Structure 1
Amino acid sequence: MGSPYLSTNETIVLSAHDLIINTVSAEAILTNQRLMLVDRTHPRILPQDIPFTAIETVTIGDESGNDPVLSLSIVTPDGTRQPLSMVFPQKPRTERTAERDEWAARIRELSITAQGETGVVAMELSPPWVPGPIPEEVITGEAEEVVPAGTRIKGPSLSERRNRAAGASKARTIGILVAALLIIAVVAGAFIFYAPAFTPQTLPPATTPQPTPQMTMPPTAEPTAEPLTPAPEAPEVTPTHMASGVPQTGVWLFVKYDGSYTGTAGAPGRFRDVIGTGNQFFQLAVKDEIVSAAITKNDNSGNLLTVEFYNEGEMVRSATMTKPGGTLETSVSLKTS
């Protein structure tokens, strides 16, 4: 298995997030050193690395549904050749034949260069790319949980996040009110309990100030009501409309287009939908890894479509396109070292 992080002197050549590889919904990233396959149905399973020295043949064709297909033959340690079929599904008004052809040409070029130095070197493919049981569990880090095989990890939708934020805000409000009532009840009980001890001592002037600290405590309940105001705490309402300013924290996708568009953006295994009109920011839940986007025009105009990535307020990638009804794909590595 492999890692989504780039090594020294490794650069991204191509990326595709909507593929069917050997019947598995997958993503693929082509660098100058390897081909990475990511299983979208099991995001916690590490990517499959395929070195160019193990790719014996590269052919192209079409599936029965007219979707472009790129077929690879992988040399395995037992001497057999394992086929790897990469299908490029075509949505309405999209054409991915040119994309398939570019992938085929680049893989051929990189394979010839790599095998010219070391020859063909066999490698082992792991499930789900070949028949066999998927590992029962994959541990991705010391602090992360064990994920059983077959578990599908899916991030919450925008509506689910809004509902969670509203529920959390309501729970906080109720908790604050209960705490305020308890404080008032404790203060009132203390005052009632100690009041008889103070009433016989009305003549000595020194005893009269003593109840006042007890009397002044109830106003402390007022500040507890102030946290009610942060109820609009959920700045998760993305996309964010910003005519000028750029967010200074986090990773953001900025789409500029005089019309409507749809697409996806994110890191392998954690893509989010991008739907909007005009100039909009979309926050991405990524950090120090490969991030990519594919944005499609919803009209047939030749207007300029611009896609930009921002990391901590700094633009790290910009791409443009004018093709009517076309799809603009771009990616960048956010790894800092």
Structure 2
Amino acid sequence: MNGSLTHLGALADPAAFTGPVDLQNTPDETALAMLERMALIRRTEEQIAEMDQAGEVNCPCHYAIGQEATAVGVAQHLRPTDRGFGAHRSHSHYLASGGSVDKLMAEVLGRDTGASRGMGGSMHLYGADTGFAGSVPIVAGTVPLAVGAGLAAKLDGSGDVGVAYFGDGACEEGVVHESLNLAAVMRLPVLFVVENNLYSSHLDIHLRQPSDRVARFAESHGIVTHVVDGNDVVEVARVAGELIGRARAGEGPGFIEAVTYRWRGHVGPDENIDVGLRRSAEEVAAWKKRDPIARLRAALETRGLAAADIDGRLDAAEQAAKAAREKAYDAPWPPQSALLDHVYAGQGDRS
């Protein structure tokens, strides 16, 4: 592969992790809640993708279908006073934090009831009441903001953490390395979460980096790291709990590399199997067998949970996504008078 080193090993092989996840000591209710949240993210994005294909969405949408476990696993240990920051593929982070599916759907359609009052679209989400401080499409742009949130939390002694969600491509931006260094030197309560889906836009990681394992960057700064199967929500939750606990206790930052894969393309609802690189229909099909939702469901069935209980959670997610779509269609557009409301600080707070 162009002289590149493969250090992820089996984690980058979809055939290696297709069975039920290990529930370990996870209570039934916790596992069911994680299943429902992942399903809500998936069903919501599938609804948005349908709207996208129908030409009803007028903003670019980046889908995290197939990657739901990472956001949901991390969110198990976050609280509303923490500050999470995402990039352009952040529907999952917003919803995992407890963000409103109604507000997400309305925002994608540009409606006044949206998460950003219809002013931001898919890539500019805001959910301060749930601890999601914002997403932007600038690659790695929010990583230093999460470090700043960690610094503020340390100075005020709140015990809160800053969380930066970003992809393997963002690791090639200089600001990520500056942020890792500052967080390490100042022992800041920050969790860096890299969703390594092996592609930056359309470019395979083996064409961009000498190794496919990006945790090496954090390790060079002495930051505690975990490299995990990003499609195993239980494992993600376990390591996130450990690292967030350390951060809250004043023991410094942590870094999770969650190896995963997006089923859809870089942007838009199609699968991008014609980009001329390693991504192919066969590769996408192989990764779909590592479905985080199906693997958690299989684990719950193996444990002996009734199919009715499991299906009830999945049906609830389905209905919530469909209802949010219909509600968004009926929501009002922002008034023309609101065009400049949020251009300058302190102006036009209509909330």
If the length of structure 1 is used for normalisation, what is the TM-score? 0.25
Which has the greater radius of gyration?
A: 1
User: Larger % of strand: which?
Assistant: 1
Q: Return the structure number with greater relative CO, CA threshold 8 A, min gap 6.
A: 2
User: Larger % of helix: which?
Assistant: 2
